[in-house]
């Protein structure tokens, strides 16, 4: 009957071997831990016939352990059993171990080769699928880019057409506004001309009345002086009115030039500015045009009021001068009549009074 060892005896022998150099090799540590687990779970005896298979099983599980280390560990443990039986079992176990190692290595190599073949086939299939997918994606991206390019070109063409129509419409409206301002200026000029004509007719009528009064009074010299004075005053009035008209025309021309420059600026800026700034710039130009129009209208209104005041002032001055001259004339005529009456009275007083004859008796 073979000798039976204790668990601690076997593990101590193994531990002494792997710690003999002062450091533990990882493979030796794994072998020791696996062997300890197997022995802890072993339910039989720890004799030579049962310990040998446990060592072999542990060796098969820890292939990184060198044959030299395994043989040394095996011999240390087996030395505790019978030498003859140990040698026989050792040879048998060595042969079985070699066969199992060879079979296991062949199986691993076959598995590795199959894995490599499968991995290569999978890689080729994956590469092919990726290439097909990439080609499909490139075709789809190209078609999408072409479609987007067409859509963008159509959208740009549409926007350009709309922008051209909008600019033309703005130019048309601006031209209509300029024409309206020109028409208002023309009407105002005609109104001023009409007022001037009425003033002239009134002056002529006043001159005619004055001339008739002077003719009726038969004071030719004074009528001549008065006519010269009225001509001088009328000339001054006409000069003042012409000066006012020239000033109005210059101001109207300046306002029209400002409006035209604003319109030209709007057209030039509309061509230059980008689509993103167009609306803001248009609003700004419209605001400037509206402000210029408002200022022009306010200045025109003020200027018209000023002109009306000047015309009224001239008219009042003309009427006042005429009234004053007429009053002076009437006063002078009255003085002359009084003097004439005084002379007649004096003449009558100096003449001889001849009494009339008495009436006849019935």
The pLDDT assigned to 357 comes to: 47
| 169 found inside a domain | no
Contacts of 38 (CB under 8 A, 6+ apart): 54, 57, 58
Same domain, 207 and 107: no
* Rounded-to-10 torsion of CA 202, 203, 205, 208: 180
The pLDDT assigned to 219 comes to: 64
Same domain, 99 and 193: no
Reply yes or no on whether the pLDDT at 358 is more than 60.
no
| 162 found inside a domain | no
Give the pLDDT band of residue 55 (cuts 50, 70, 90): very high
Reply yes or no on whether the pLDDT at 41 is more than 90.
yes
Give the least confident one: 110-114, 187-191, 218-222, 249-253.
218-222
Average confidence (pLDDT) over 38-42: 93
Model confidence pLDDT, tens digit, residues 265-281: 865 775 475 667 757 87
| 210 found inside a domain | yes
Contacts of 234 (CB under 8 A, 6+ apart): 203, 207
pTM for this structure?
Answer: 0.26
Same domain, 182 and 89: no
Q: Cα–Cα distances in Å, from 159 out to 155, 164, 170, 174, 275?
A: 6, 8, 16, 22, 9
Average confidence (pLDDT) over 96-119: 90
Reply yes or no on whether the pLDDT at 353 is more than 70.
no
Q: What's the total number of domains in the chain?
A: 2
Q: Cα–Cα distances in Å, from 315 out to 151, 192, 311, 359, 361?
A: 73, 15, 6, 65, 70
Across the chain, what does the average pLDDT equal? 82
Q: What is the DSSP string of 156-209?
A: HHHHHHHHHHHHHHHHHHHHHHHHHHHHHHHHHHHHHHHHHHHHHHHHHHHHHH
Reply yes or no on whether the pLDDT at 289 is more than 80.
no
Burial class (CB in 10 A: 0-12, 13-18, 19+), 168: exposed
Model confidence pLDDT, tens digit, residues 157-171: 888 878 888 888 888
Residue finishing a domain among 119, 144, 166? 119
Q: Which domain holds residue 19?
A: 7-119
Same domain, 288 and 204: yes
CA distance 297 to 303: 10
Question: Closest Cα partner for 189 from 288, 256, 260, 258?
Answer: 256
Same domain, 93 and 217: no
Distance of CA 140 to the CA centre of its chain: 33
């Amino acid at each position: 009957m073979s000798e039976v060892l204790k668990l601690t005896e076997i593990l101590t022998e193994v531990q002494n071997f792997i710690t003999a150099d002062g450091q533990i090799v990882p493979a030796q540590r794994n072998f020791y831990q696996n062997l300890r687990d197997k022995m802890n779970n072993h339910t039989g005896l720890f004799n030579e016939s049962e310990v040998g298979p446990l060592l072999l099983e542990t060796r098969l599980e820890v292939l990184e352990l060198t044959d030299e280390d395994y043989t040394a560990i095996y011999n240390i443990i087996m030395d505790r059993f019978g030498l003859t039986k140990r040698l026989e079992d050792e040879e048998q176990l060595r042969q079985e171990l070699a066969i199992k190692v060879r079979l296991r290595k062949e199986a691993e190599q076959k598995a590795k080769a199959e894995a490599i073949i499968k991995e290569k086939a999978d890689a080729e299939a994956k590469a092919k699928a990726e290439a097909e997918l990439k080609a499909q994606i490139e075709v789809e991206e190209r078609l999408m880019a072409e479609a987007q390019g067409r859509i963008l070109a159509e959208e740009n063409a549409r926007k350009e057409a709309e922008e051209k129509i909008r600019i033309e419409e703005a130019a048309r409206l601006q031209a209509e506004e300029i024409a309206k301002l020109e028409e208002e200026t023309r009407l105002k000029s005609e109104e001023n001309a009409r007022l001037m004509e009425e003033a002239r007719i009134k002056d002529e009528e006043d001159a005619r009345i004055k001339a008739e009064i002077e003719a009726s009074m038969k004071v030719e010299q004074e009528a001549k002086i008065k006519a010269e004075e009225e001509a001088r005053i009328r000339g001054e009035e006409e000069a003042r009115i012409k000066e006012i008209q020239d000033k109005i025309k210059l101001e109207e021309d300046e306002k029209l030039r400002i409006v035209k420059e604003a319109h030209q600026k709007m057209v030039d800026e509309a061509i230059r500015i980008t689509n993103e700034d167009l609306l803001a710039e248009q609003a700004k130009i419209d605001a400037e045009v509206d402000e210029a129009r408002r200022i022009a209208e306010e200045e025109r209104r003020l200027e018209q009021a000023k002109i009306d005041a000047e015309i009224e002032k001239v008219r009042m001055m003309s009427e006042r001068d005429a009234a004053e001259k007429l009053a002076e004339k009437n006063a002078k005529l009255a003085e002359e009549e009084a003097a004439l009456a005084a002379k007649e009275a004096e003449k009558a007083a100096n003449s001889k009074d001849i009494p009339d004859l008495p009436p006849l008796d019935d």
